[in-house]
Every structure is written in C-alpha cells, then in structure tokens.
Structure 1
Amino acid sequence: MKKILLIITITLLHNLSFGQTESLNSKKVTEQFETFYNQNEYKSIFEMFSSETKKALPLEKISEFLSGLSSQAGKIVKRDFIEYQKGTFALYKTDFEKGTFGLYISIDNDSKINGILVKAFIDESIPKIERNITKLQLPFTEEWTVVWGGDTKELNYHVESEMQKNAFDIVITDKKGNSFKTNGKINEDYYAFGKKLLAPCDGEIVKIIDGIFDNKIGEMNSTDITGNTVIIKTKNNEYLFFCHFKNGTLKVKEGERVKQGQLLGLCGNSGHSSEPHLHFHIQNTKDINSGTGIKCYFEKLKVNGKMKEDYSPLQNDKILVLKK
C-alpha cells in the first residue's frame, strides 16, 4: 500500500526561538488558521502568509495542499500545543476527523506564517514494541507471494514510514510469476481478488472501514488510503492492520471478539491500491497516523517450500500456512 500517511512539508524561514510555553502570537495565528481551514477559506489562509512565503507558494499551490489535507484528514476537531521545534515551529497534536497528525506552524516577527508542516504525530508516551509477542498464523490458506517485505528500502519501501516500517504487501502469483490471468485489465483477473482473509490470532475488532468501492486496475483512491479495513487488537496491545478488502465483504463488526482462523472478509482492491492485494502490518496504536510499526513474525509456515518457525517474510518469498 503506497503512502498511507499524509505528509506535506512546506518550510521556509527560521527566526527566533521561543520557550516551551505557547506564545500569544502563535495561539492567535493558529486559532485563526484552524477557523479558516475548517471553513475551506484557503484564500484567507494565503493572506496570513508572509510576502516571501506568498512568492514561494502561490495561492493555487497552497489551495491544492490544503484541499488535499482536508480530503485525506478531514476537519480539525481538537488541537493541543506540545512544544516549539526547529526555531519558530510550534508543534500541535491535532485530531482531525480521520486521524491524528502533528501540525507545525511557524510565524515571523510580524505574526505572518512563514512555514507549515503536517506529518504523522508519534505519541512517545505509548510503549514501542520491537516484535509481536502474540503467536500468529498466516491470514490465508493458499500460497501467496510477498511483493514488499523486509528491513531495507530495496526489499520494502514501507521502511521509510514509522508506522508501516515492517509492513507487507502480498499477492498470489502463478508459475510464471504473474499476479493475474488473461490480460489483467479487471479485478477479477487477479488471483488474490476475492480470496478469504482470516484472523491470524484471537483478538478484538477495534475498527473497521467498509463501503469503499474497489478501484479500476491502475487507478488508486488517494482520499480513502487504506480502503476497506479491519484492525484487530491482541491481548498484548498489538494492533493488526488489514487493508484493501473487497467492498461489501467484511464479516466482522467493531467490538466483536474473533478467534484465530475466523473469516474477516475477502481480498480486494480498495483504497490506495493499484491491483488486488493484501496490505498487512502491526503497530502499537489503532491510529494509523500516530503509531510505531512492530516487526511481524509468524509462528509456523512454509517459505519457498521449506518449513520455518518464528519467521518474518521477505520480498519474493512464497509463503503458505502449515496446517495443524
């Protein structure tokens, strides 16, 4: 799954440093920014910028940035000042309708905005977990192929994301290595499309997203990034993310307790996905924008025809669950 996070950076000037108490100027400017943002008054926000920032970021560009933010994150619901960073940047833990992000706003000596940054907010108070403690089985019964998996950028582009750094993208391939039959122009051509996805362990369903249409092949939904989604919380506070389910196929509800091997839904092509596949990762919170990824090991499985125990799959591995 490409770019589950919304990260847009605009940085220009760095001036004076403040202490760790929010200044009155920062408070006033940020409150005004929030009001205009929630009202989609992007031109009014543009007028809050310094002259140098206006030159670097014309109205069309800043409007595109803000409308994209609104589309992916929604309106601002709550905002808490955390600290000053990088000179004049005030960091706010900001709850948007669709998740929590870090909002950084810098102002100059004339109380004009000269820098803005929106990125994932990592809650340092939540304990980080290096690897899963809960014993997991693969979430499918047939042999699948790992497209992205491992600890290096070459093996797994997810490593650049704090939340998804240990994620997997997995498909089904034939003997020729193709993930589709015929010409691969429709979802039904893909071997993974409509395949059953199962709970890897016992747990609680803490979040579902449903009702998102599957994409046409080669097209991606940049608004509903994860697509139809299921998140399972284990007894060890690990949050298992399953993304891109086929629309209308989820078989679980929020608050439901599930057992290992229970049907969650069918593999699809919803969200930021170019072809049917499973995106799976574990993190330490259910908020996909503020967690830290956890490396995933499966208890017993076949990898390229050989039995493995306590194994974390790598790119190009062909993986199959060991039947008990």
Structure 2
Amino acid sequence: MNLNTNPKPRILLHLICMVTIVGTLTACTRNAQDPPTNIASSSHTTSSSIVDDVKPFQPEELPDLLLQGKNETVHQQFNTQFKQQVSLKDMEQLSAFHEGVQSYTLKSTMKLSGSTNYIWTDEQVKKGIQAVFDPEGRISGLLLVPLETFPETDVKKTDTTFALPFHGEWFTFWGGTNVLVNYHYEHPSQRYAYDFVQQKDGSSYQGDATKLSSYYAFGQPILASAPGKVVELKNQITDNEPVGTMNEKEPAGNYVVIDHGNGEYSIYAHLQKGSVKVKVGDQVQAGDILGLCGNSGNSSEPHLHFQVSNGVNLFESKSIRIQFENNADYIQGTTIKAP
C-alpha cells in the first residue's frame, strides 16, 4: 500500500516493460500529484514452452548475463507476448544502463500467482533490476531502473523499540529501503512503512478473490507495538468489497495512531469497520488489541499498513525507520513468525 489516491505507472529512461502482477497491493495517499511508483505495466502475459534445443538459464543467472551483454540469450527466454513488446534491438539499446556496475545482489524473491518476482540492486544501490519469471521459466517482465536512496534517514531508527503488531505468520509485501522492494519509499511521509498480508502457498486468499472472507488476513487481531497513548482514530469507514475497489476519499480507512511520548507515533491503517477497540485518550501496552485487519480506505486487498511518523498526521509528517525488537529488519518477501 502506498497512500497514493491514484497510483499510476511511469516509464523511466531505462525501463523496458513490466507485467502487471496479480495481487500487487496498492493503496493510499492524500495527494494525487504525488510521484507514482517506478513501475510500468502491460497486460498479463501468457507463457509458452522454452524451445527444446535451447537450455534455459536460471533466474539467478540473469544479472550476470545482462552485465556480460548477452542480450540475445536473455531475449530468447522472454515469453511470447513479452518478445512482441520488447525487441532484441530494444534490449541492446539498454546495455549502457549497466556501466560502472560490477555485480548485482539479490534483494527479494516473491511468489505471486504462480510466477516469481526477483529484485537485484548494484553495490551502491543506485541501479536495480526487477524480473518476473513465469511457471515455465520464461521472463514475462523486466525492469531496469535507477534508484534513489536516502542514507541519512535510512540509518536513523526510532528511539522506541517496537514489537510486531500481530500474532502468527505474516508476509512482508512491501518493506525495505528502495522503491523496488518498498512502494512507499519515494514518499517522505511513508518512506519506511510496511504492508503486511497473510499467505498460504504463495496466495493471500482462498476461494472467491472478490470476497473479503476469502482473505487470510481479514479479521486478524492487530496489536499495539509499544506502550503509548491513543491520540487519533477512525472506525466507521466501510471495508471495500468487492475486493479490488478502493476508497480514495479516505486513504487510510479506519486507523489508530499511538503517541509514544518522544515525537514518535505509530500508525495502523486499513482496519476493519467497527473493529477498533480503543478510544482516544486510552493508555495501551504492547500487545493490546487495537482492532482487526480490514480493507478500508485506499486498499486493494485486506492487509495492515504499519509505520511510525514524527507527527500525528500521516500525510503531513515524516516516516521514521522502525527499530524492531532483536534489531530485526523486514524486507519485501520476508515471512514473519510472530509470537
């Protein structure tokens, strides 16, 4: 979830193309003029079998092949529709993107709707590669993008130590310190926010994808992550159903804001309508139930948006990187097993 009222893809200089990933979380900010995420989309691609006389390369080999200029090898493993969209000549024109890069490091792997999404960055986290491999090993999407980082704020974590805001097993859909692994990162107000879902076998739901009851996260208890005072909340926003519709007028949906007394405010957004159990002025302890995970606001499916800011107002404050217990760090693709 990025609190954008209308997230729209944009194409950068070194962007090839990117498939739409079914299940990608989109969500919330107040300002429609906020810069959109650095991902362009095409329609979902269909796979085809890899040619029998060509040995396919493994996903982990892709960055080295690109660095070596073996564009024909890479292009040969595009699936049929992606080959029609991106020619070998297009690939060759992008070779200059890798100038100055010695190697790329894998940062995130995430299974989505049968395909697998991979993200690599260079040593300086100045350039990134995102690739989607379909179930047959074909490349159905590829993105090369320059990355902007904010090292001064990346290293500054909260004074408060936070526990996880839930029990059980959850999945980090967005989280980390570059825009490829964390859709929020380019927005100062949400730079270090997380989006958490629950998954089983790589899917966040079972059954009818349009129904809230199909989603594992929907209705799960959301907990206070540290002691503090409830200073703001909302509880009357209807959850979006059918799933996929979003409420841009109420970006955060139902939410709770807790003041931890040191200029740090934890925010829990997209809660289920009517589920908030605390009142403004209540003192809470870590582990107290605040409400239930929902799909209210500018949310594309049930999930928890969790962040810490330096002020009460989510949209006018700046996000602070969270100091979790045991110095834990959660990046996109991380499965969390909370007590």
> Same fold judged by TM-score > 0.5?
yes
Give yes or no for the alignment of 1:6 onto 2:30.
yes
Structure 1 residues 286 and 151, CA gap change in structure 2 (3 angstroms): same
Indicate which of 272, 290, 294 corresponds to 2:320: 294
Choose 1 or 2 for highest CA Rg: 1
Letter in 2 for 1:184: A
**Residue aligning to 1:208:** 233
Give yes or no for the alignment of 1:273 onto 2:299.
yes
Q: SS of the residue aligned with 2:161?
A: coil
Once the 2 structures are TM-superposed, how far is the Cα of residue 320 of structure 1 from its aligned partner? 1.9
Equivalent residue runs for 1:151-166 within 5 Å: 151-166=177-192
Equivalent residue runs for 1:198-277 within 5 Å: 198-216=223-241, 217-277=243-303
Once the 2 structures are TM-superposed, how far is the Cα of residue 148 of structure 1 from its aligned partner? 0.3
Letter in 2 for 1:312: D
User: What's the % identity of the aligned pairs?
Assistant: 37
Indicate which of 211, 216, 222 corresponds to 1:186: 211
Unaligned runs of 5+ in 1: 11-126, 300-308
Q: Distance in 2 between matches of 1:231 and 1:237?
A: 12
Letter in 1 for 2:332: Q
Q: Distance in 1 between matches of 2:309 and 2:161?
A: 15
Indicate which of 133, 139, 147 corresponds to 2:159: 133
Q: Deviations over 1:159-190 (max 9, x none)?
A: 1111100000100000x210001132200000
Once the 2 structures are TM-superposed, how far is the Cα of residue 128 of structure 1 from its aligned partner? 12
Letter in 2 for 1:204: K
Q: SS of the residue aligned with 2:332?
A: coil
Unaligned runs of 5+ in 2: 5-27, 35-152
Once the 2 structures are TM-superposed, how far is the Cα of residue 9 of structure 1 from its aligned partner? 5.1
Query: Does the aligned pair in 1 maintain the 2:30–2:251 contact within 8 Å?
Result: no
Q: SS of the residue aligned with 2:307?
A: strand
Q: Distance in 1 between matches of 2:267 and 2:173?
A: 17
**Residue aligning to 1:88:** none
Query: Does the aligned pair in 2 maintain the 1:129–1:294 contact within 8 Å?
Result: no
Q: Distance in 2 between matches of 1:318 and 1:9?
A: 33
Equivalent residue runs for 1:65-214 within 5 Å: 130-174=156-200, 176-214=201-239
**Residue aligning to 2:37:** none
Q: Distance in 1 between matches of 2:179 and 2:165?
A: 25
Query: Does the aligned pair in 2 maintain the 1:128–1:284 contact within 8 Å?
Result: no
Q: Distance in 1 between matches of 2:181 and 2:305?
A: 15
Query: Does the aligned pair in 2 maintain the 1:212–1:227 contact within 8 Å?
Result: yes
CA RMSD across the alignment: 1.9
Once the 2 structures are TM-superposed, how far is the Cα of residue 288 of structure 1 from its aligned partner? 1.4
Letter in 1 for 2:321: K
Q: SS of the residue aligned with 2:184?
A: helix
Query: Does the aligned pair in 2 maintain the 1:207–1:230 contact within 8 Å?
Result: yes
Query: Does the aligned pair in 2 maintain the 1:232–1:241 contact within 8 Å?
Result: yes
Q: Distance in 2 between matches of 1:238 and 1:245?
A: 21
Q: SS of the residue aligned with 1:134?
A: strand
Query: Does the aligned pair in 2 maintain the 1:128–1:292 contact within 8 Å?
Result: no
Q: Distance in 1 between matches of 2:164 and 2:181?
A: 20
Q: SS of the residue aligned with 1:179?
A: coil
Structure 1 residues 9 and 185, CA gap change in structure 2 (3 angstroms): closer
**Residue aligning to 1:314:** 331
Q: Deviations over 1:174-215 (max 9, x none)?
A: 0x2100011322000000000000111110001001100000
Q: Distance in 2 between matches of 1:318 and 1:128?
A: 22
So what's the TM-score if we normalise by structure 1?
A: 0.58
Residues matched between the structures, number: 196
Once the 2 structures are TM-superposed, how far is the Cα of residue 136 of structure 1 from its aligned partner? 1.1
Q: Distance in 2 between matches of 1:6 and 1:139?
A: 24
Q: Deviations over 1:235-290 (max 9, x none)?
A: 22211010000000000001110011101000000000011000001110001121
Structure 1 residues 147 and 221, CA gap change in structure 2 (3 angstroms): same
Stretch deviating more after TM superposition (177-186 or 213-222): 177-186
Query: Does the aligned pair in 1 maintain the 2:158–2:323 contact within 8 Å?
Result: yes
Once the 2 structures are TM-superposed, how far is the Cα of residue 130 of structure 1 from its aligned partner? 2.6
Equivalent residue runs for 1:40-79 within 5 Å: none
Q: Distance in 1 between matches of 2:154 and 2:233?
A: 24
Letter in 1 for 2:228: G
Q: Distance in 1 between matches of 2:154 and 2:182?
A: 21
